Every structure is written in C-alpha cells, then in structure tokens.
C-alpha cells in the first residue's frame, strides 16, 4: 500500500490531468473524495447523502 503523501500526490496529478481544479481542496478532502485503485486508476469514492428536513 502506498503511503498517504504519495497517494495524495498521485491523486492531485491525475485530477489536474483531467482538468479538475483541486487546488482549493485540502488533503483530507481529496482522500475522502478520491482514491487510486490497484491498477493505478483514479476512482471516486461513494458518497452518502445526509437527508435534509
């Protein structure tokens, strides 16, 4: 498994290559939204929506 800093760097690189502006996102936000699969591809993580009343 890759260490966290390397994983964040890879995710930021892949996001910038596809044109997603990630400069305003913190490292924690990036790790909560994206991941790298076992083949090195960028993957979005499933999000759960909180119901609003």
Nearest alpha carbon to residue 1 among 37, 48, 34, 53: 37
What pLDDT score does 19 carry?
85
What pLDDT score does 2 carry?
62
User: pTM score, two decimals?
Assistant: 0.73
Distances in Å between the alpha carbon of 53 and those of 25, 48, 49, 50?
28, 16, 12, 10
Give me Rg for the CA atoms of the chain: 12
What pLDDT score does 9 carry?
92
What pLDDT score does 51 carry?
65
| Boundaries of every domain in the chain | 4-44
Can you tell me which residue has the tokens 């119901």? 51
- pLDDT tens, 4-48? 899 999 999 998 898 877 778 888 988 888 999 889 899 988 877
């Amino acid at each position: 498994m890759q260490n966290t800093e390397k994983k964040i760097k890879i995710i930021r690189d892949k996001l910038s290559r596809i044109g997603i502006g990630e400069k305003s996102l913190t490292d924690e936000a990036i790790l909560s939204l994206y991941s790298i699969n076992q083949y090195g591809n960028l993957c979005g993580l499933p999000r759960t929506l909180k119901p609003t009343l």
